[in-house]
Structure 1
Amino acid sequence: MTSQNSTPPQGSHQWILTLELPGRCTTTQYGTWTPPAGATRHDVFVSLREHIVAEHPELSRANTVFFSLEPNRL
């Protein structure tokens, strides 16, 4: 019997981003991503925030409560 791994490949970095609209809502999203060559931590933050806001436009004025970007390895 052959075992196949059906888990999709993960990105080179793991990220967590928490946004809050004070008194209204807080959301935490996370995932993995391989940034393009030459990308900075700020580039990744802006891209991820824009991605979340594109899916949830009501968060366009949300405060960033937490952001983490770490290499996805132990």
Structure 2
Amino acid sequence: MVNKDDGSLYYEYKVGWQIGSIIAAKNNVGVVSADIRAKSDTGGHTLNSVPVFAYGEGADAFNGMMQNTEFSQLLFEAMKP
């Protein structure tokens, strides 16, 4: 659980937003601020591409531009024993 300064709890999806904001700020990359995301009808989704990095066996499959559905399928394939 993650508490706000006033002791109330963050919704689980907002925790990810805050962590993403911290990582983006540290790496000096663009991020939609938490205030703007909170007002967004899409929950902060944008049309921006998201870089994905992979290493190890099967990493070559994660190359170039792909749709999120393609990414998830590759991820599930990579996780098979």
Q: Same fold (TM over 0.5)?
A: no
Higher relative contact order (CA 8 A, sep 6+): 1
TM-score normalised according to structure 1 size: 0.32
Structure with bigger helix share is 2
